[in-house]
Every structure is written in structure tokens, then in C-alpha cells.
Amino acid sequence: MTRDEHVVVADHVTRRFGAVVALHDVSLSVGQGELVGLLGPNGAGKTTLLSLVAGLRKPDAGTVRLFGGDPRDARSRLSLGTTPQETGLPSTLRVQEVVALVAGHYAAPMPTGELLERFGLQDLARRQTGGLSGGQKRRLAVALALVGRPRLVLLDEPTTGLDVEGRHVLWQALRDYHAEGATVLLTSHYLEEVEALAHRVVVVGHGRVLADGGLADVVALVARRRVLVTVPADALPRLERLPGVEVLEAAGRPEGVRVTLLAADADELVRTLVGQDAPFRDLEVRGASLEEAFLALTASDGVLEPGRAAAEPVQEVRS
Ligand SMILES: Nc1ncnc2c1ncn2[C@@H]1O[C@H](COP(=O)(O)OP(=O)(O)OP(=O)(O)O)[C@@H](O)[C@H]1O
């Protein structure tokens, strides 16, 4: 794909807020028709990145291009639809009136009935927005991003505050819109959400792109398990040599060393320990939280790729 076919290009972008470096030397391109999930913990820099793409802020260094132009130029944003993390709706207007208000800005908007149906809001068309539940308001806010039939949709935490049903309706609406040819870039804290929607996942942490690749590869990278065992101190080096296993922590205790291991396949690890007749006790297996997976990705000791310096953290995991 040439740069011209990219809908979004961020090139060595840095953005600071006072002493906080929200984005550090981030490079990322999103091609026409991609559905990309930006996954990362609070404060990772996701919202900042979207705000640069939407032309709401300027980078301190590097460049951002939107449809080949400067996002701060209104002409570049003609085919952009976006819903920020928090939105306000005029509480005395009816749902259909809010849609009509937004539609008035576009030459060929999506018909109100069609839009509301996509988001399961058709029965609420005549309800004042002030009378909607939080989840219904959120669905309407996201629906409004699509009124102008944008070629690129930017969504910041689209399903925050939605119950399971609301989330599924919204996911389906986004999948359908993407299937019609749109490019979608969304942020999420939730691996589950990114798994449900995205084809490509970009993991962001501490203002950097930590991993970028196909869904299955990145999920395998972050969806690891923590295995805790207590072993005699002299058994620790053996654990450190196990393939596919990282030692996250080793704490000395009177009864031995309490070791926390991060493993892609916890069952396989336990089988290996038993097969090796390793003298372990107090076995615990826990899901590694996304937070822990991010910590592992950011660890300067190269937990995932020994030898790779922290200053160069991008994990290319495309298969
Ligand atoms: N307007 C601002 N003024 C000062 N600091 C800011 C501002 N906006 C963002 N930051 C800081 O920049 C860093 C990145 O924030 P950002 O909102 O981009 O993260 P995020 O990944 O979107 O987080 P969340 O998931 O919580 O929305 C954080 O440390 C945040 O406190």
C-alpha cells in the first residue's frame, strides 16, 4: 500500500502536555478499509492520538496526515466521523431531531430511520434525549458519527457504559458499516472488545506503540497466564530456562522462592514442571490482566523479546 492509499499516517509523532509525554515518537498508518483497535491502559496516549488524527490538537514533533492532508484543515475532515469519549446531547430535543440537526451538515446523509435502526434506536426516535438511559445516549452518540456516511470513523471507547446487549448492538452496527467499505479506528481498554471487532490491533502503552499486528498474533501476545509456584532457590535457574516462559518476579520466602511466571500456555508449563519432577508447591494459575500484559510488553528487561532494547519497543507481530 502506498502512502497515498493510507487514510491515516502518523509519522514520528511526539505530543507533550507540560512534563507529560503523551505520545513518544509514534509512527502508525491505517489503510483504506481497515478496522483497527487501539488497545491500551488508562493514560497510554490513545485519546491523544485520536485527537491528533481528528485535527483537534497539533503534534509537537512529527506529522499526521488524514486522507493525505493536514487534519487541521477542514477539507481533510470532510469524510471523517468521530465520537469522543464523552459527548453531550441537547436534552430537550428528540432523538430524530438530533439526528436531523447533524444530518443538515451533510450533502448526502444517511436517512434517520436507517441510522436509528442500525443502532437499535428506532423505537426511541420521538423520545427527548434527556429521557434516554446512559447506554441509549451512548449508542446515539456513536450513531451520530455515521450520519454523514464518513469514509473514516474514529471512536474513543465506543462502548463505555453499555450493557452486554447494547454493546453487541453497537458492535454489529460498526461491523456492518465497516463491511460497507469504511475504515474504522477505535480505542478500547478491553481485549474482549478489540477481539470482537478489530482485524488489526495496535497496543499502546506509555505513549508508544508496543505491538502492532493481526488480531490473533496480538491476542496471543497479551492473553497470557500467570503461574505462581514456590520452589527451592536452586531450582530457579531451571525455570528461567524454560522455553516460552518469562520469570516476572521471584521473591525469597522462608519456604523457598515464590516465582511468578508468565506463560503463553499455562497447561503446558504445568505439564513440563510435573514431567521434570520439579520440586514446586503452592501452584496458582491466574489470568494475566491486560495491565500485566502491558507491563510485560513495556518491561525494559525484554520480557517478550530478550535483547530488544526498551527504546525500540515495537513488536511487529504480523504473521
Ligand atoms: N489536556 C491535557 N493536559 C494534561 N495532560 C494530558 C492532557 N491530555 C492528556 N494528558 C496526559 O497525557 C497522557 C495520555 O493521555 P490520553 O488521554 O491520551 O490516554 P488514553 O490512553 O486515552 O487514556 P484513557 O484510556 O484513560 O482515556 C496521560 O498521562 C494524560 O494524563
Q: Which domains are present in the chain?
A: 32-55+79-220 (3.40.50.300), 222-298 (3.30.70)
Q: Are 142 and 83 in contact (CB under 8 A)?
A: yes
Higher pLDDT residue, 286 or 296?
286
**252 Cα–ligand 1 center, Å:** 37
pLDDT digits (tens, 9 = 90+) for 1-38: 555 579 999 999 999 999 999 999 999 999 999 999 99
Strand partners, 44: none
**84 Cα–ligand 1 center, Å:** 13
Backbone angles phi, psi at 230, to 5 degrees: -110, 130
pLDDT digits (tens, 9 = 90+) for 245-282: 888 889 988 889 999 998 878 888 899 989 888 889 99
**Residue 174: what pLDDT?**
95
**204 Cα–ligand 1 center, Å:** 12
Q: Are 41 and 291 in contact (CB under 8 A)?
A: yes
Q: Angle CA(213)–CA(215)–CA(221) in degrees, nearest 5?
A: 75
**16 Cα–ligand 1 center, Å:** 10
Q: Whose CA is nearest to atom 4 of ligand 1?
A: 17
Question: What is the best residue among 38, 46, 188 to mutate for testing ligand 1's pocket, by most ligand atoms within 8 Å of CB?
Answer: 46
Q: What is the mean pLDDT of residues 143-158?
A: 95
Per-range mean pLDDT, top range of 161-175, 187-201, 232-246, 299-313: 161-175
Please determine, for residue 308, whether its predicted confidence score (pLDDT) is greater than 50: no
**155 Cα–ligand 1 center, Å:** 16
Backbone angles phi, psi at 246, to 5 degrees: -115, 140
**295 Cα–ligand 1 center, Å:** 18
Please determine, for residue 301, whether its predicted confidence score (pLDDT) is greater than 50: no
How many whole angstroms separate alpha carbon 25 and alpha carbon 49? 11
Please determine, for residue 317, whether its predicted confidence score (pLDDT) is greater than 60: no
**Residue 54: what pLDDT?**
96
**Residue 289: what pLDDT?**
61
- The letter for the amino acid at 264 is A
How many whole angstroms separate alpha carbon 159 and alpha carbon 164? 9
Q: What is the mean pLDDT of residues 63-81?
A: 95
Pocket of ligand 1 (CB under 6 A): 17, 20, 22, 40, 42-48, 189
Q: What is the mean pLDDT of residues 238-246?
A: 85
**Residue 304: what pLDDT?**
35
Question: What is the best residue among 20, 21, 209 to mutate for testing ligand 1's pocket, by most ligand atoms within 8 Å of CB?
Answer: 20
Of all atoms in ligand 1, which is nearest to the CA of residue 85?
27
**Residue 97: what pLDDT?**
96
3-state helix, strand, coil in the chain (%, to 5): 35, 30, 35
How many whole angstroms separate alpha carbon 222 and alpha carbon 190? 11
Question: What is the best residue among 42, 160, 186, 191 to mutate for testing ligand 1's pocket, by most ligand atoms within 8 Å of CB?
Answer: 42
**Residue 296: what pLDDT?**
62
Grid cell digits, residue 125: 426516535
Element (H, E) at 117: helix 112-118
Instruction: State the complex-level ipTM.
Output: 0.96
Q: Of the ranges 75-79, 157-161, 296-300, which one carries the lowest mean pLDDT score?
A: 296-300
Q: Of the ranges 41-50, 234-243, 282-291, which one carries the lowest mean pLDDT score?
A: 282-291
**299 Cα–ligand 1 center, Å:** 21
Please determine, for residue 196, whether its predicted confidence score (pLDDT) is greater than 60: yes
**102 Cα–ligand 1 center, Å:** 28
How many whole angstroms separate alpha carbon 249 and alpha carbon 291? 15
Strand partners, 187: 38, 156
Grid cell digits, residue 106: 451533510
**33 Cα–ligand 1 center, Å:** 28
Please determine, for residue 313, whether its predicted confidence score (pLDDT) is greater than 60: no
Q: Of the ranges 100-109, 152-161, 242-251, which one carries the lowest mean pLDDT score?
A: 242-251
Q: Are 129 and 94 in contact (CB under 8 A)?
A: yes
> Within 13 A of 244's CA, how many CA atoms are on the CB side?
13
Looking up cell 452496527, which residue turns up? 173
Q: Whose CA is nearest to atom 28 of ligand 1?
A: 43
Of all atoms in ligand 1, which is nearest to the CA of residue 48?
18
Q: Of the ranges 149-153, 176-180, 210-214, which one carries the lowest mean pLDDT score?
A: 210-214
**Residue 206: what pLDDT?**
87
Backbone angles phi, psi at 241, to 5 degrees: -90, -5
Of all atoms in ligand 1, which is nearest to the CA of residue 51?
18
Q: What percent of the chain has pLDDT above 70?
A: 88
Query: Based on the number of CB atoms within 10 Å of its own CB, is 153 exposed (0-12), middle (13-18) or buried (19 or more)?
Result: buried
Q: Regarding beta strands 183-188 and 200-205, do their DSSP bridges make them parallel or antiparallel, or are they unpaired?
A: unpaired
Question: What is the best residue among 21, 24, 38, 47 to mutate for testing ligand 1's pocket, by most ligand atoms within 8 Å of CB?
Answer: 47
- The letter for the amino acid at 98 is V
Q: Are 13 and 58 in contact (CB under 8 A)?
A: no
Q: What is the mean pLDDT of residues 40-57?
A: 93
Average pLDDT, rounded, for the chain: 86
Crossing angle of the two packed helices 164-179 and 134-144, in degrees rounded to 10: 10
**212 Cα–ligand 1 center, Å:** 21
Q: What is the mean pLDDT of residues 291-310?
A: 45
